[in-house]
Structure 1
Amino acid sequence: MAKRRGWRGSLLMGLMAVAALGFVGTAQAGKAELKGNFQVLSDEKSTHKPGKVQLTEFADFYCPHCHRFDGEGLAILEKEFGNKLEAVMVGYPVIPGKLPTAFDMYEQAKTMGKGAEMKRALFRTIHKDKIGIIDKAIREVLIREVGLDPAAFEEGLASAKPAKAFEDGRKWGDRIKIQQTPTVLLDGNIKVEQIDPENLKLIIHSILDGDGKK
């Protein structure tokens, strides 16, 4: 099972591992001087657009650390950066024995413009409502809650598209060697395992500051 740790505890652990990891400090990615604890993936292309940072959160709906980061850590970042931050989740399962239903539902909701709403509903249902198996009845409640048509949603869910999107995301995570959830990827090639908000804010600010120097 993949390693996982909470974002609050990761700050101390990350600082203790500075010498060993060698990722803290500054690095050149393009013309921007990056600061913080991160790893630039040389085999991945940057997707950076001036004035905006794309945050990809590799997460498991059944992981309590992912639930906490999504509800607390991500909210801090969105408040800090507003529309300069574009956040999206990629499903990466690490908890064994779970059906892929939640991940497929999230992918289908994304295609219908309600990905963020469905993500919040799924995290709440699994971790706060303590519903581990999302059957058809629970699914319909959640579909209606986020404002989607159940018939259209089920039709899309029954197609191969959501399952393929989920599988593509899992393969992406395998390619960049995700070791724990949540792990964050910034602008396509800046991998961050120390996902406490202060470290992420430092990195993101340095990316945006670099735009101003170009």
Structure 2
Amino acid sequence: MISFSKRLFLSCASIALAISLSGIAKAQGPKIEEGFDYRVMPVPQPVETKGKVEVIEFFWYGCPHCYDFEPELKAWLKRQPKDVSFRKVPVAFRDDFMPHSQLFYALEAIGKGDALNDKVMYAMHKENKRLMTENEIADWVASQGVDRNTFLAAYRSFAVISKARAARQMADAYRIDGVPTIVMQGRYVTSPSIAGTKAKSIVAMDFLEEKIRKNNYKQ
């Protein structure tokens, strides 16, 4: 017969094991599956930097889902190591959205992208600013303390217009049909709509990040 003390020990050990396994399962998070939580592009696109995990967010200033996803994306970026390379690419699904892509690259050109990108989205989604024309855009940028003429010179420049057009071509090459969309290593595609929720898409990004590292950053 097993003594009471031994039964108590075995019982405690079983509970401890159950808690331990539960903790492992929790740490591992939900299962991530190809075709459900992310897709693999049939033709991988070239990455800009070798030896890094390349992450691209295709977005549009006027997209409410992009605005809604921004806090989770920023939190994810804050905990990434130096081998993660991130950039945003504006998408213009229609010709009348091209001014927003020019706005993005013009702010980048004058060194105001980091300071004003969030404010652009806040203005559009919380203050009902449309910012669809050059004058509307320039007036708003000037209201943020930026010299209007300096901004317009960048906005109208060949370099900025070329980048906006290239971004549109890039979105076509990546077959982007909705935003926000995250593409990792020019190959793996996920988003809140693909994964089902914002939280699940972040878990998918973590999964893909480790997958890319284990594959030595290859595509």
TM-score in terms of structure 1 length: 0.69
Larger fraction in strand: 1
RMSD: 3.1
**Corresponding pairs, count:** 180
Residues 146-196 of structure 1: CA distance to partner in whole angstroms, max 9, x if unpaired?
Answer: x64432221121223322211111111112211221111223333334362
Consecutive unaligned residues of structure 1, counting only runs of 5 or more, are 1-11, 25-35
**Which of the two has greater helix per residue?**
2
Partner of 1:62, secondary structure, is coil
Letter in 1 for 2:160: P
Q: Aligned ranges for residues 129-168 of structure 1 at < 5 Å?
A: 129-134=127-132, 136=135, 139-143=138-142, 145=144, 148-168=146-166
The 1:207/1:163 distance shift into structure 2, 3 A limit, reads same
SS at match of 2:107: helix
1:112 to 87, 91, 110: 110
| Superposition deviation, residue 144 in structure 1 | 5.9
Contact 1:121 1:142 in 2 (8 A): no
Equivalents in 2 of 1:140, 1:77: separation in Å? 33
> Highest CA radius of gyration, 1 or 2?
2
Report the identity percentage: 17
1: distance between equivalents of 2:140 and 2:177? 34
1:101 to 99, 102, 106: 99
Could you tell me which residue of structure 1 aligns to residue 18 of structure 2?
none
Unaligned runs of 5+ in 2: 1-29, 196-200
Structure 2 residue aligned with 1:57: 57
Question: Match for residue 120 of structure 2?
Answer: 122
Q: Distance in 2 between matches of 1:133 and 1:155?
A: 17
> C-alpha distance in 2, partners of 1:148/1:133?
16
Per the TM alignment, residue 206 of structure 1 is displaced from its structure 2 partner at its CA by 2.8
Q: Which residue number in structure 1 is paired with residue 213 of structure 2?
A: 208
Provide the rounded CA distance (Å) in 2 between the counterparts of 1:202 and 1:148.
Answer: 40
TM-score normalised per structure 2:
0.67
**Higher relative contact order structure (alpha carbons within 8 Å, sequence separation ≥ 6):** 1
